Amino acid sequence: MLVSPTGSGKTLTATHIIRDAVTRGKRVLFIIHREPLVNKTLSTLHNYEVESVGYIKAGYPHANDVDRVIVASIQTLARRDYPDNIDLVVFDETHTTSFWKTAQKLIYSVS
């Protein structure tokens, strides 16, 4: 768990962890609590050369099965099938109560 003030680089830190996991052949799911943050996170991942990134958010089809990283809106992910073969799950903003309750339901439904 990483706790740090706004603007201190939590997404950047997660990006480095994700890049390391992808380099080791792992598949990562990065769950975001608000849909507008999906694009910001995608941009950060691309800026730090994390490739094969897909996303799950309202109005878009499912992520590709070959994407190494999937950035997902928790609201959309809760309504769709959980991606297969995920090795690492990263939650953004877990302190958000409504997000955490939805995340718990999602985790328990696939475990």
Could you report the per-residue pLDDT of 46-80, keeping only the tens digit for each? Answer: 898 888 888 888 887 667 778 899 988 888 887 88
- Domains in the chain: ranges and CATH: 10-110 (3.40.50.300)
Residues 53, 21: Cα–Cα separation, whole Å: 13
**All residues at 6 or more sequence positions from 89 whose CB lies less than 8 Å from its CB, including other chains:** 28, 29, 31
What's the predicted TM-score (pTM) here?
Answer: 0.80
Of the pLDDT bands very low, low, confident and very high (cuts 50, 70, 90), residue 104 is low
Residue 68 CB neighbour total at 10 angstroms: 20
